[in-house]
Amino acid sequence: MKNLVVVKIGGYYIYDRELAKNIITVANKFKVLPIFVCGGGVFANAVREAYLAHGFSSKVAHYAAIKAMEISALIFSENITNSVLVDSLDEILAWSTRGKYPIVLPYNIVLRVNVLPESWEVTGDSIASLIAVLLGVRKIVFVKKIPGLEKYFENVCRFVDKHACELIGKYKLRAIVVNGDDLSSITSGFINV
């Protein structure tokens, strides 16, 4: 079986077919099977706006933003042939062994485990890190829009939320940030996972 790596796709990139194709090509070249977790992007921003305008609880906003990540995952899934939307750790592992590309629907996983604060401090980066920890996957690549980043960046705490940083440190995850606009950055990130 190929080595597993969690790939957190920033919400900006969920529509980017070329990026998805590049990630699959690079992952196959280095015999890595990506498990995709998508950020909430504009959908999470809409939840935040509604939260600020209408004052529902932080807990409800937290879980609504995680549902926004699932909308992003659904959209991103159109970019990858042989992808499958999954909402449990068992499904992720089962489909991985069949050569499919799991795209995580994180709501049920996060709800069952419930170890992250239920607040805006937690982003998709924390959730992707948590999923890596729960699966025993030691490697995570964060694909972000970072103009000027040409290679990969290992000091991820500059680019992720504090809870992701804590999980990465506590569980000694090999975490790398790459620029989704730069194929050499993506390639460098996968060489080093």
Cα dihedral 13, 95, 92, 107 sign: positive
CATH number at residue 37: 3.40.1160.10
Whether 5 has a pLDDT exceeding 70, the answer reads yes
| Residue (of 120, 92, 122) closest to 108 by Cα position | 92
Whether 151 has a pLDDT exceeding 70, the answer reads no
Residue 188: what pLDDT? Answer: 81
For the sheet containing 83-86, what is the strand order? Answer: 83-86, 101-104, 32-38, 3-9, 139-144, 174-179, 152-153
Rounded to whole angstroms, the Cα distance separating 104 from 109 reads 9
For tokens 């807990």, what's the residue? 59
Rounded to whole angstroms, the Cα distance separating 161 from 66 reads 15
- The tens digit of pLDDT for each residue in 39-77 reads 999 999 999 999 999 989 999 999 999 999 999 999 999
* Total count of domains within the chain: 1
Find the domain containing 146 and state its range.
3-191
- The tens digit of pLDDT for each residue in 76-113 reads 999 999 999 999 999 999 998 898 999 999 999 999 99
Rounded to whole angstroms, the Cα distance separating 134 from 172 reads 13
